[in-house]
Amino acid sequence: MKLSEIIDLTNAKVVAGDAEKDRELLRAFSSDLMSDVLTLDTEHILLITGLTNLQIVRTAEMADIEVVLLARNKTATPEMIELANETGLVLLETPFSIYRASGLLFQNGLDPVY
């Protein structure tokens, strides 16, 4: 699914990173447990989470995650935005819950990791 579709479907706004609208993401994973995220061995992943701390950005970098969608109207901290821009991570914010965002993306063709 193209990043532009993800942004439209989840009513998200881009707060960090180079949001190439044609960027293709193949799978999504929803989690607030970063230890679970570190077990992923898949490329072109969207991570959907409700956490807003620097650990999210660091974990995404270690797990080669390209895009993180912050759910439930959570906002990225200035430190998160700065680190995301340094590492090339795209950070998005959505008003939707993790459940709603995951469901919409799945319904529209974005496959889950598991």
Quickly list DSSP for 38-97.
Answer: TT---SSEEEEES--SHHHHHHHHHTT--EEEE-TT----HHHHHHHHHHT-EEEE-SS-
Structural domain boundaries enclosing 60: 3-112
**Per-residue pLDDT at 31 exceeds 80:** yes
**For the chain, percent of residues with pLDDT exceeding 90:** 87
The pLDDT score that the predictor gives to residue 20 is: 83
**Residue 88: left (phi > 0), alpha (psi -120 to 50), or beta?**
left
Give me the CATH number covering residue 100.
Answer: 3.40.1390.20
Q: What is the pLDDT of residues 60-86, one digit of tens each?
A: 999 999 999 999 999 999 999 999 999
The pLDDT score that the predictor gives to residue 40 is: 85
Average pLDDT over residues 80-98: 97
CA distance 40 to 68: 14
pTM: 0.95
The pLDDT score that the predictor gives to residue 18 is: 87
- Looking at the 3D structure of the chain, how many domains does it have? 1
